[in-house]
A and B are shown apart, each in its own frame.
Chain A
Amino acid sequence: METHRDPVRPGETSPITIIVDGAPVRGLDGQTVAGVLMGAGRLAWRTTRNGRPRGVFCGIGVCHDCLVAVNGLPDVRACQRRAADGDSISTEEQA
């Protein structure tokens, strides 16, 4: 939510940019890869073998629905991996 209206009053943090399937996506330092994607309005990024869209389901690293490739390494849980500025994320590489 918008920081100035947030009752939790989050502190200042630096913006980061990650590259998702070749396109830059802006996020905040400290967010997970899933947090950056969802903050940018994306709800789904993986496709199952049967062509069904998937994104975050459990949010705590159990379900593995949110897998992405990070800097060429496949099968990384987007909800668990902290995004680093410049990370290259691919949603197309599947194991």
Chain B
Amino acid sequence: MTVETPDVLVVGAGPAGLAAADAARKVGARVALLDAAEDAGGQYWRHLPAQRPAAHERVLHHGWDRFTALRGQEMLTNAQVWLAERHDDRPPTLHVLVGPADGRDRVRRTFAPKALVLATGAYERTLPFPGWDLPGVFTAGAAQALAKSERIAVGRRVLVAGAGPFLLPVASSLVRTGAEVVGVLEANGWPRLGRGWSRRPAELLATRHKAGELAGYVRDLARHRIPYRAATAVVAAHGAERVSSVTVARLDPQWAPIPGTSRDVSVDAVCVSHGFVPRVELAVSAGCGLDAYGAVVTDHDGRTTVPGVYAAGEVTGIGGADLALAEGVVAGLAAAGATASDAQRRSRSENQRFAARLEAAHGIRPGWVGWLGDDTTVCRCEEVTAGDLRAGAAATGSRGLRSLKLSTRAGLGVCQGRVCGRTVEELLHRHTGGLLDPGRTEQRPLAAFVRLGELAAAEEQEHQ
């Protein structure tokens, strides 16, 4: 088998990966840049496909000029990394399948880079509530993806709910895709939001691009008369075959619903996001250390705890596209054996303080478990309920996450616990009085779903 040996291999062509590959190339490194999608941009700069190019794509985007400057790089698209093979003395070898998503005849390629940059991004965390598995309940990211790359609005009358500033661009995209947004609900109350966002305003000036982006979304809410409600959440969705209404309730500062405050709102779709989970499969396979939030630990040059492996962007902690770009430049340079300038390092640390504000103002609070009923689905794949988890913990007396997952089936379905993993861990942690092996959800031997038949066929081709 041919093994490709670039100086720098970058996985992920969103803001961080594009910036890393560009920076490494500019100092002369031979770079390979991979992404599982058909085009560059990641989730942040998702856009209409080449078959349907838009004249005014920037209407849905921030930093579009930066993207157009970065997107022309040579890259390998439709490239799914499925295995990181660890070595003691050098960065891991990555095994890649190239071809249509989930196909069976993809081309197998193998990379043994001198340095590896992981820029695999993040996906949303959506907390469960009764009815959250009804069609018409989407993650906020699904609404954003369908608006940006399909020009489809997820509903006609849509409520956006959860926590964090990401709810705002989703509402803006929805109205620009023809939906009526009946409200944006933020779980955190004004006191916490105020403490998180107004402290040390000089730091915000340093990230004024980000501040301007937020101001633009707030103007959109005002122009379309979309109410923004703090300390409020969707606590249930109702409908037979699809969502027809949701129950909305006021929350206390710990996110527990306040009795007597609930009311029903008629909608045909609801978009929910409570935060983000770093996409760490490859980093974990490579042996990289994680922090308490499950993000990859890096130093000021983007080095992980594994020599020759760097990380940048949301996989190192949730901080938005500006931070991802700044981290990408620094990590790309370091991976190529160069050093970032003081200004490049400063940009990175200023944007990191913005990320700390996000967690302070919007991080998940434990009272959300008050939304659950015993029959509320927690694991969507295996259809394990909150009651099943409680009963499983009580019946076995086990405090082991691994054994409780095996006995309840929670997190063992086709998504491999990507959607429910943290939720299952938190619930079992309460029921058992403390898990003995927390964090195991992130450990997946294969980084992506692969067909054994496809791998066998590829082996045969190589031996012929």
Contacts and interface: CB of A to CB of B under 8 A. Distances in A.
B248 interface: no
B415 A80 contact: no
B123 A60 contact: yes
A1 B56 CA distance: 15
Nearest to B121: A60
Q: How many interface residues does chain B have, given as a range?
A: 35 or more
Interface string A13-56: 11000000000000011111011001100011000111011111
B55 A9 contact: yes
A89 B409 CA distance: 29
A60 B59 contact: no
A34 B150 CA distance: 9
Given A39-B152, A57-B137, A80-B102, A7 B59 contact: yes
A81 B100 contact: yes
Main secondary structure of the interface of B (DSSP, over half): loop
Contacts of B177: 1
Q: Which of B52, B104, B176 has the most CB of A within 10 A?
A: B52
Interface residues of A, number: 52
A58 B102 contact: no
B50 A30 contact: yes
Contacts of A76: 101-103
A64 B100 contact: no
Contacts of A12: 52
Contact of B383 (A5, A8, A50, A59): A50
Contacts of B84: none
Contacts of A32: 149-150
Interface string B410-431: 0001110011000000000000
A12 B100 CA distance: 24
B418 to A, nearest CB: 5
Interface string B141-164: 111111001111110000000000
A35 B150 CA distance: 6
B141 A58 contact: yes
B433 interface: no
B220 interface: no
B223 to A, nearest CB: 13
A60 B141 contact: yes
Contacts of B252: none
Given A31-B150, A58-B123, A60-B142, A8 B135 contact: no
Contacts of A50: 383
B271 to A, nearest CB: 10
B190 interface: no
B139 to A, nearest CB: 5
A59 B141 contact: yes
Contact of B145 (A1, A5, A60): A60
B251 to A, nearest CB: 23
Contacts of B383: 48-50, 52
B141 A64 contact: no
Interface of B: 36, 38, 43, 48-57, 59-60, 100-104, 123-124, 133-139, 141-146, 149-154, 176-178, 241-242, 380-381, 383, 413-415, 418-419, 449
Given A39-B150, A43-B242, A57-B142, 7 more contacts: A1-B151, A8-B59, A44-B241, A57-B380, A58-B138, A61-B36, A63-B139
Interface of A: 1-3, 5-14, 28-32, 34-35, 38-39, 43-44, 48-50, 52-65, 67, 70, 73, 75-77, 79-82, 95
Closest 9 A/B residue pairs (Cβ): A59-B142, A30-B51, A1-B178, A30-B49, A80-B101, A44-B135, A9-B55, A35-B150, A59-B145
